[in-house]
Structure 1
């Protein structure tokens, strides 16, 4: 199993990036690689329609450390843990997402990495736009 770290510097404060990205209702706006429709809540469990089918998502509790780790239970039942961090950066914030090659051939893994890169670009546009930064 391989891992690939995708990062994106965003011209907004780490707090602004974390608050936007941790808001479950914002997932479909920026995380198309995970959520292609509104999030469905069933108790404490979240379900989303993703490119992989309907998946269950569980995020770590809201925290002050910028940790956005989440487990995704695939339709196969496999649980994928996605480490995600929002870090302070001299130009604002840096979001680092670790993509792991689980149940993916090399071509599918490359597509997964590309989807995460596109997701982080959308997140950048959303958060920087809210902060009044022109792109």
Structure 2
């Protein structure tokens, strides 16, 4: 199963990028591939509408390592694991999303990578504003 690492460099500190990206209320501002709708808290999970329908998102606990891994439960009940990291970079921070092809066609995998890249670019634009 192929994986692809999609990343962008943000000219802000890794801590600033992590704190912004870790705040659930900011997701709609930069993660349109996931959601651009209001987010509701349901215990440790976030519930929102997405292009796929109603989804539940559970993030790894806040940490000092820049780990923003999250699990997305789709309307079908299937849960996908998404690795997302913010690491230090000589020019600020690098945000890295690991995308796995799973059962997607090559065309869908390429489209998903493009959507992730657009989300990371939006995050960069918001933070460098």
TM-score, normalising length: structure 1? 0.91
**In structure 2, C-alpha distance between the alignment counterparts of 1:101 and 1:73, rounded to whole Å:** 17
1:125 corresponding residue in structure 2: 125
* Misfit runs of 4+, over 6 Å: none
Shift of 1:50: 1.4
Q: Contact 1:34/1:48 (CA < 8 Å) preserved in 2?
A: no
For the residue of structure 1 that corresponds to 2:66, the secondary structure is: coil
RMSD: 1.1
**In structure 2, C-alpha distance between the alignment counterparts of 1:50 and 1:106, rounded to whole Å:** 22
Shift of 1:36: 2.0
Gaps of 5+ in 1: 130-135
Shift of 1:100: 1.4
1:91 corresponding residue in structure 2: 91
**In structure 2, C-alpha distance between the alignment counterparts of 1:50 and 1:100, rounded to whole Å:** 19
Aligned length: 129
Gaps of 5+ in 2: none
14-23 vs 40-49, which moves further:
40-49
TM-score, normalising length: structure 2? 0.95
Q: Contact 1:10/1:91 (CA < 8 Å) preserved in 2?
A: yes
